[in-house]
Amino acid sequence: MQGIYPLTMLFSIITFTLAGVLTPGPNNIMLLSSGLTFGYKRTIPHILGIVLGFTFMVICVGIGVGVVFKMFPFVFTILKYLGISYLLWMAWHIASSKGGIDAKKSSANKPFSFLQAAIFQWVNPKAWVMAITVTATFTTSKEHAFVQVLLISFICLLCGIIATNSWTLGGVYIKKFIKNRLHVRVFNITMATLIVASMLPFIFE
């Protein structure tokens, strides 16, 4: 391991990744809302979609997909606006959800699926920026580049598990203080607003 990364570099990767995945963003805000609205068990596919979708993205970026953005910047612009559009749809979905207190009884309200969450990573500007940054910053050796990318991806996987579960369980905990459907609606509308707000830096950059 020392030949691939010194311990100080590993610590830097872990610190950087944890800071990125634990801070508020579209994924975490949606998980917080889903944890409250649908509970932990029904949010598991959403969690797995984010964790595995992002990890796979990091691997792809690390082995060369990120080069496409350098050669064809318009591709990133297209993905950015596709992501923003999809994000607005997700925000509307959350804001209009009537689930919460009796979400299990309502078949009309469903948490995001594994596929929805995984696909969103590929049109999420924040996910792309983080994937490109972490691989570009910490892939430091041509000789060990592939192994380094795999190690970075594994760290992203572990940190993602910590972050997604923390935010989901946070929503489950908050549910203890929300006693009726109106409170759930207000909470979900607030979360939807925060999701949209989290994309403003990418819209106006």
Give the mean model confidence (pLDDT) for residues 178-189. 78
Q: Report the range out of 88-97, 102-111, 135-144, 195-204 with the highest average pLDDT.
A: 135-144
pLDDT at 77 over 90: no
157, pLDDT greater than 70: yes
- Which amino acid, 155? I
What pLDDT is recorded for position 108?
43
What is residue 102's DSSP assignment? T
Q: How far apart are CA 188 and CA 168, in angstroms?
A: 14
Whether residue 164 is predicted with pLDDT greater than 60 in this model: the reply is yes
For residues 141-174, one letter each, b for 16 or more C-beta atoms within 10 angstroms of the residue's C-beta and e for the rest, the string is: eeeeeeebbbbbbebbbebbbebbbebbeebbee
Q: What is the pLDDT of residues 103-131, one digit of tens each?
A: 444 444 688 899 999 998 988 878 888 89
Q: What mean pLDDT is predicted for residues 63-82? A: 74
User: What pLDDT shows up at residue 204?
Assistant: 66
pLDDT of amino acid 159: 96
**Angle, helix 145-174 to helix 7-22, in steps of 10 degrees:** 40
Domain range annotation of the chain: 40-203
Average pLDDT of the segment spanning 143-162: 93
What is the value of pTM for the model shown? 0.82
- Torsion sign, CA atoms 25, 35, 94, 180: negative
- Backbone phi and psi for residue 184, each to the nearest 5 degrees, phi listed first: -65, -45
Tell me the percentage of the chain whose pLDDT exceeds 90: 33
